[in-house]
Amino acid sequence: MSKVELYTLIHVLAAIIWVGGAATSQVVALRLKKADPGHRLGFAKDMRFVAQWLFIPSAVVAFVFGSLLVEETPAFGYDQTWLVIGNTGLLVALLIAAGYLVPHIRKAIRLMESGQGEAAGATMRRVTVGARLVVLILIVIVWAMVAKPGL
């Protein structure tokens, strides 16, 4: 296996984990509307863990190995439209996830644990909107990586 093939494999696997996991979490979240409070609390705790220890690290791995691919492939350049879309989308998605989603999930967990269900629900609804925005950004990134506009 060449370096480029190895970098591509790791890049794609990391993207699959991040994009697939984020999309799947939204499908599961749809079921929470009628779930009991204990189930919602468990889901929130799981999502905090998954976002912090799986989604964000896999995004970083995808970026690092994507960058290695650009460095190893003469036809690729950081000024190409598809890479600008991908890198900008990645940065925005990471900022939303690390700067907004994870802290607000923590807040919702604290609210749930202290018996403030309505406030926790309102916080989780805002988290859901942010998470869906991230999924939309990820879909645009995947489109850019596949279609490679500007190449």
Distance (Å, whole) CA 53 – CA 49: 6
Indicate the pTM of the whole model.
0.89
Mean pLDDT of 29-47: 87
State yes or no: pLDDT of 29 exceeds 80. yes
Residue type present at position 68: L
The whole domain housing 122 covers 3-147
The residues, ordered by sequence, that sit 6+ positions from 140 with a Cβ below 8 Å of its Cβ are 85, 89
State yes or no: pLDDT of 33 exceeds 80. no
Domain count, the chain: 1
Distances (CA, A) of 32 to 4, 5, 10, 143: 42, 40, 33, 29
pLDDT digits (tens, 9 = 90+) for 84-119: 999 999 999 999 999 999 999 999 999 999 999 899
Distance (Å, whole) CA 120 – CA 11: 36
pLDDT digits (tens, 9 = 90+) for 58-69: 999 999 999 999
| φ, ψ at 127 (rounded to 5°) | -60, -40
